Structure 1
Amino acid sequence: MLRPLRLLCLALCPVLVGCGRPAGELTVVVVPKGMTHEHWQSVRRGAERCAADLLAEEGVTVRVVFDGPLRERDAMEQIRIVDRRVATGAAGIVLAPQHNRTMEACVARTDGAGVPVVLIDSGLSDMSRVQKYVATDNYNGGRLAARHLLTVLREKGVTEPRVVLFRYAVGSQSTEEREKGFEDTVAAECPGVVWVSRDKYAGSTRDSAMREAGPLVHQFADRMDAVFAPNESSASGVIDVLRSQGLNKKVLVMAFDASKPLLSSINEGDAVGSVLQDPYRMGYLATWCCVRHALGDDVNAGRTDLNLGTGETVVTRENVAAEATLGLFDPAAQARRVIDRPRFPKRGAK
């Protein structure tokens, strides 16, 4: 008698959206690249805020599970997390893939199991199994970084700058697009640029960035005017090295992303600015798209409108304390925000 009852329970699990959870509850699993950077914590807060708004405004109960690898270079752990969460009844996966190719098979399995995948932050080489891509326009972010850095250099009388492009990691599509936007824009708008280095990679942590930046800065200390670092950890690492060698404020640093130490560096003049993403909005809208898909909406207009941009902002000493800037990273300011949400037609609607 016990065996038929057990089989009946298993058969009813999909209806209940996972055994042990209330009927009608939707579980959205947010899988970041890693768990430590402030960027991912803002994504988490945005996802949880979306769930709270859906309950308050529409009576839709959403359970947000935030689960990712501890290290941003552990792609296999990220794959295991996604596979495990799909097997335990997720209604949708919000994923920031660590690598643009390594994660493709995992996403294909997830989609094949009937669980929609919404990508954030970074894309894949093959986007055909993705329901929505909610992300920064990273190429434009790199372009904005280049233009601001070139403006500051010109104000200092440097018209043929010696520049270091301090890359992040091979296969990280988001940072590769930032690097490409920066590189293309500098080449187009500053023909006299001298590229001191464009082949060094910071790696996934502040410590690894310091290890790579140390010999680089030592070698080119008197032959570099500026550095572009395409994420928070690479920027913080290179700033630490410049400080240790007494080159802060002498070598200009243009950063990407936010953290309290990095924003303090902008206030102190050790970085001339940073391009900030909107990870709070990213987490909010990605969760929104997962839930709307689960409720029958066509979130990508029949696969003709995959991308949903979240915006890019250049932050300098002049606007670092503005409310709009604080809303990009500060938890209290984020809680005061109102997020515009797209509306989608029902699938199959004419």
Structure 2
Amino acid sequence: MKLLRCLPLALAPLIAFAAGEKIAVIPKGTTHSFWKSVESGAKQAGAELGAEIIWKGPLKEDDRAQQIAVVQQFVSSGVNAIVLAPLDDTALRGPVKSAAERNIPVVIFDSALKGEPGKDFLSYVATNNTRGGEIGGEELARLLGGKGKVVLLRYAEGSASTGEREAGFMSVMKKHPGITVIVDNRYAGPTISSAQDASMNLIDKVREADGIFCPNESSTQGMILALRQTGLAGKKKFVGFDTSAFLLGALAKGDVQGLVAQNPVRMGYLGVVTAVKHLRGEKVETVVDTGCVLVTKENRHTPEVEAVIGK
């Protein structure tokens, strides 16, 4: 099988000296495995560069008010830079503008913020989310042989990253006249539990469907749990997103046939590297693509996939 990816993979070269900058890294949430990997990458970069990494974010990925408060706290305390994964592409514009007014550069990572990289904020470091959704759609269309009924369980309104993945997925579905998307207006919500509930609430449509797509870790896991609960696991063609230990285990069992894998360690790492390079007077890219790759049971242990998700 051709390996579908949107890369490059190699880590950027680091700057040779340390200056002890304080970098606040603010995720969308702190419970999912994805964010723990981001934290690992951010702290790796901090250790190599001699920068202090302060990791803080809301517990759940629907607490916009808490994330805004965290950004405002770091703006007031005067950190040297902020690396932020905005929960909402609009609601976080004000706090980011406040940081700029205090001469605190902001690197946006993982999920877009409305505005222009290099102007409204320093840089955007993320997966090409539209391409990631296209990769998921291409694989599901291949699994279905270009025909059948499909359920798209979206993540949450206002989340730019998953919205781009969903749009990429839908653009591929429209290219296949033999495929009908029978659900595309339901949302999983911010947790695995809410995703499982949402999946159970549309289980009759899931029974009718031949294929399923979910755009992030929690929506994919919640759908798998619902499929297991109803005896449908392994009976539907299913492509999800992200690669926690749970999801990779489900891939090995055949409960999901494909996962679009981001590189969260690289994302956290390059978010911090970009901020520190700027603080040290180096020119930085306004958009940094951290890459993604399709993971299947067949290619799981190939060197290219392991370079993204580990062994």
With normalisation by structure 1, the TM-score equals: 0.81
The reply on whether 1:307 has 2:293 as its aligned counterpart is no
Partner of 2:98: 109
What residue identity is the alignment partner of 1:176? G
Partner of 1:249: 234
The reply on whether 1:239 has 2:219 as its aligned counterpart is no
What residue identity is the alignment partner of 2:139? H
What residue identity is the alignment partner of 2:188? A
C-alpha RMSD of the superposition: 1.5
Partner of 2:131: 140
221 and 175 in structure 1: CA distance in 2 versus 1, 3 angstrom threshold: closer
Partner of 2:210: 225
Partner of 1:65: 54
What residue identity is the alignment partner of 1:191? P
* Structure 2 CA distance for aligned equivalents of residues 65 and 201 of structure 1: 32
* Structure 2 CA distance for aligned equivalents of residues 124 and 99 of structure 1: 7
What residue identity is the alignment partner of 1:195? V
What residue identity is the alignment partner of 2:29? G
Partner of 1:94: 83
Partner of 1:175: 162
Q: SS of the counterpart of 2:174?
A: helix
Q: Tell me, which stretches of 5 or more residues in structure 2 are unaligned?
A: 1-17
2:65 to 53, 63, 76: 76
1:37 to 19, 32, 40: 32
CA deviation after TM superposition for structure 1 residue 84, in Å: 0.9
Deviates more, 1:162-171 or 1:191-200: 191-200
* Structure 2 CA distance for aligned equivalents of residues 48 and 161 of structure 1: 45
Partner of 1:13: none
Q: Tell me, which stretches of 5 or more residues in structure 1 are unaligned?
A: 1-22, 55-60, 301-305, 334-350
Partner of 2:190: 204
Are the equivalent residues in 2 in contact too, given 1:239–1:253 (CA < 8 A)?
A: no
Partner of 1:319: 299
With normalisation by structure 2, the TM-score equals: 0.90
CA deviation after TM superposition for structure 1 residue 327, in Å: 4.2
Are the equivalent residues in 1 in contact too, given 2:153–2:184 (CA < 8 A)?
A: yes
Partner of 1:161: 148
Q: Among the aligned pairs, what percent are the same residue? A: 37
Deviates more, 1:123-132 or 1:261-270: 123-132
Partner of 2:13: none
Partner of 1:214: 200
Q: How does 1:120-139 map to 2 (within 5 A)?
A: 120-127=109-116, 128-139=119-130
Partner of 2:261: 276
280 and 222 in structure 1: CA distance in 2 versus 1, 3 angstrom threshold: closer
* Structure 2 CA distance for aligned equivalents of residues 68 and 140 of structure 1: 27
Q: SS of the counterpart of 2:178?
A: coil
* Structure 1 CA distance for aligned equivalents of residues 207 and 262 of structure 2: 32
The reply on whether 1:85 has 2:80 as its aligned counterpart is no
